[in-house]
């Protein structure tokens, strides 16, 4: 069972993981699956570390750092049943980089366009 709280609900754990980035969360999930009592402590208000998606502007959820799933092993997704728990991979059809002067970059062209 996953609980999120500002205070731990127990006084003892088999493992304490400092940092709720995706590596910490994967370790915690495997340990919990093996029957261990695990505490994950995260300093931010949200889990995910550099792989987090956050609502930076109201109504606009954005990958603030990592933006492609390149290093995450598919067997971990299967073993932890991440799709059943809400993981939804969105194919990266294109990317768009706006520039401060109003121009933009599109990877297909590599060129800066107006």
In whole angstroms, give the CA distance from residue 6 to residue 41: 9
Beta carbons of 108 and 102 less than 8 angstroms apart:
no
- Position of minimal CB gap to ligand FAD: 21
Report, in Å, the least distance between residue 94 CB and ligand FAD: 15
Q: Give 67 or 104: the residue with its C-beta nearer to ligand FAD.
A: 67
Tell me which residues touch ligand FAD (CB under 6 A).
Answer: 18-24, 41-44, 49-51, 65-68, 70-71
Q: Give 59 or 70: the residue with its C-beta nearer to ligand FAD.
A: 70
Order the strands of the 97-98 sheet from edge to edge.
97-98, 104-105, 112-113
């Amino acid at each position: 069972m996953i609980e999120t709280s500002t205070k731990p609900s127990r006084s003892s754990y088999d493992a304490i993981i400092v940092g709720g980035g995706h590596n910490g969360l994967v370790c915690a999930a495997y340990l919990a699956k093996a029957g261990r009592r695990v505490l994950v402590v995260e300093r931010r208000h949200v889990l995910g570390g550099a792989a987090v998606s956050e609502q930076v502007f109201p109504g606009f959820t954005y990958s603030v750092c990592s933006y492609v799933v390149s290093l995450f092993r598919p067997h971990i997704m299967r073993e932890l049943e991440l799709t059943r728990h809400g993981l939804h991979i969105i194919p990266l059809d294109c990317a768009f980089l706006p520039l401060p002067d109003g121009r933009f970059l599109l990877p297909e062209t590599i060129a800066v366009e107006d």
